[in-house]
Chain A
Amino acid sequence: MNFKTSLKRAKGLGSAKEGTKHWLAQRVSAVALIILVIWMISAFLQFPVADIYGGGLSLLKTREIAMEWISHPLNSLLCIFLLIAMFYHGALGMRVILEDYVHNELTKVLSIIAVNILSFAAAVIGIFSVLSSFLNG
């Protein structure tokens, strides 16, 4: 016999009881990205991109300019923040999309795990690359 009251039973059903954190994390990372992306775009436009793409600048010189830029602590620090916010926000967003469109439970869970692992790995590789350039640049 089931002694649970109707309220107790209903409380176990319905909403996922979580998601507020996910929702908030998506917004916090979004606000961080607004600032970081605008910074990155304006930084990118400081480079002589027209010369690089027009072939007026050698590959060696191109890398030299980039290394000079990343050797400034603020630039490499913001670059690392950008990587973290970007892959965090991306993984959260991809999760929502996969939850909405993948209906097979196993495929859904596995693809979300794959997205998380790939995002984490890419962010780590990116951070190490920035640090390596910062130290050697």
Chain B
Amino acid sequence: MSEQKSEKIKLKERPLSPHLTIYKPQITSVLSITHRATGVFLFLGAFIFVWELSAFARGGDAFECYMGFATSWLGIFIAFFWVLSLFYHLFNGIRHIFWDMGLGFDIKTAALSGALVVIATVITTIYFFYLFYKA
């Protein structure tokens, strides 16, 4: 009887399934939430892209106003993280499509492809802004 009781208490104290605060971050889970975060950021940035298109179409003050923003430090800061997010979401999205085809599910492959996504993102982003700024 008493044994049963202590067993019950033990069960109660056990953590429930994935509580993020106590769940050990792994490359797969971190990259997964990053996919979502970059997706949200890309979605928001898409509205700036529309602002750009409409500013170019309208010309005059609207165009000058947009270019003032685009060449400001804030504009460049946002553009940098938008392009970074774009490359990340692109590469990780390709990884997702392979999963949808049933490929690369085992832990080793998933971790390796995740690392490749990060490396590809860093290289392409640096290369992109190198072309951006090369004299």
Contacts and interface: CB of A to CB of B under 8 A. Distances in A.
A53 interface: yes
For chain B, the bracket of interface size reads 20 to 34
Interface residues of A, number: 39
A45 B130 CA distance: 11
Nearest to B37: A97
A90 B46 contact: yes
Given A62-B67, A126-B53, A49 B132 contact: yes
A45 B50 contact: no
Contact of B57 (A34, A37, A122, A130): A130
For the residues of A in contact with B, the DSSP-based class is helix
A97 B40 contact: yes
Interface in B2-40: 36, 39-40
Interface of A: 27, 30-31, 33-34, 37-38, 41, 45, 49-50, 52-54, 59, 62-63, 66-67, 70, 79, 83, 86-87, 90, 93-94, 97, 118, 122-123, 125-126, 128-130, 132-133, 136
Interface of B: 36, 39-40, 42-43, 46-47, 49-50, 53-54, 56-59, 63-64, 67, 71, 76, 86, 90, 93-94, 96-97, 100, 128, 131-135
